[in-house]
A and B are shown apart, each in its own frame.
Chain A
Amino acid sequence: MKRSYIDLAVGVFVLIGILALGWLSVRLGKVEIWNTGGYTVTADFPSVGGLKDGSSVEIAGVEVGRVTRIALADYQARVFIAMRQGVKLQEDSIASIKTKGLIGEKYIRINPGGSEKIIPPNGKIREVEPPVDFEELLSKYIFGKV
């Protein structure tokens, strides 16, 4: 009787431990298991330079979404963005790939537009700015001068 009581207690503790670990990995990995009611939009960039799955998408420095997938489409980079619910993107919004600091990670900054048309779920951000490739720029203006 006493023995089975201890077994039960251990079992409960192990279960709590596993749940805690699970919760931790979800939190740390920033995985969205439950559908938070957001929507997906895409944007085609000539190049995405260092942008990765999970990179943040910001408006005025506030995170409003995440990059979920990057695929090749017609030799351009098609970026899939999971937007938060309630954040509306105007049809003339501009998505730019920026760098945090000088050598920091890449993220997408959205410059909201003023159009009355709103990009629907699974719609496309038409206006984009690829990241500025400093190395390429530098080499261009170093070796370009003959």
Chain B
Amino acid sequence: MTRVRVGAVALACLLTVSLGGAAWAGLPTDQLKGAIDRVIKTLEDPSLKGEGKVIDRRQAVRKIANDIFDFTEIARRSMARHWQPLTDAQRTEFVGLFGDLLERSYISKIELYGGEKILYTNERVDGDFATVGTKIITKNGTEVPVDYKMLRKSDHWMIYDVNIEGVSLVSNYRTQFNKIIQTTSYNELVTKLRTKQDELLAEDAAQRKKATPTKN
């Protein structure tokens, strides 16, 4: 069950990562749909396929992810009331670390995409907020509902939360961060995030080493 959910999180991110590239104004669903098609295109691009292209492919996806995800908003909402006391420098640092964590945790999962179907079930717009409901249908027929919470920034809708099977990403991190900060301190949380980042960087390095021989 956990693996299915991780896969769903990954797909959820996949569906949204390329939204940033879309400059036209329109309904949130339109922007989402355009985004999904573009990410799938990136993943199925023959020039970016294969073990040796792991780094290139990830960079391409990550670049789009930076445009579309409102990492500041996600970080602010996840930190909740611990956000106010932070200085501007601390905030910038935290957004960077948290963004890295999210990207790195999910990008490798996005690459597992293998032709799952995506349905757009509904859309609710309420002022500057919108919820786009989608369903991912896996190859064995399991439906995973994924809701995107979006916030309007002028003519651009950006994601600030993702709900998978009703479970919110922000709520999950908010509970974890709150626990860590209350039992230890903010500095401890930053240390934890850094350690995690180092681990993932080491994984990346290992991947790169693995990728090099296949190139030659």
Hey, which bits of chain A sit against chain B, CB under 8 A? 46, 90, 92, 94, 96, 111-114, 116, 126-127, 129-132, 137, 140-141, 144-146
| 26 CB-based A-B contacts, threshold 8 Å | A46-B166, A92-B77, A92-B80, A94-B171, A94-B174, A111-B175, A112-B80, A112-B81, A113-B81, A114-B76, A114-B80, A114-B82, A114-B83, A114-B84, A126-B129, A127-B161, A129-B166, A131-B166, A132-B166, A137-B1, A137-B165, A140-B142, A141-B1, A144-B140, A144-B141, A145-B142
Chain B residues within an 8 Å CB radius of A116: 84
Cα separation A123 to B168 with both chains bound (whole Å): 21
Give the interface centre of B80, B126, B141 by most chain A CB atoms within 10 Å.
B80
Minimum CB distance partner of A144 in chain B:
B142
Q: For the side of the interface on B, what is the size category?
A: 20 to 34
Chain B residues within an 8 Å CB radius of A145: 140, 142
Cα separation A126 to B147 with both chains bound (whole Å): 14
Chain A residues within an 8 Å CB radius of B136: none
Chain B interface main SS type:
mixed
Q: A129-B166, A144-B141 are in contact. Are A114 and B171 (CB under 8 A)?
A: no
Minimum CB distance partner of B139 in chain A:
A146
Q: Is B204 an interface residue (CB 8 A)?
A: no
Chain A residues within an 8 Å CB radius of B81: 90, 112-114
Q: Is B4 an interface residue (CB 8 A)?
A: yes
Chain A interface main SS type:
loop
Chain B residues within an 8 Å CB radius of A129: 163, 166-168, 171
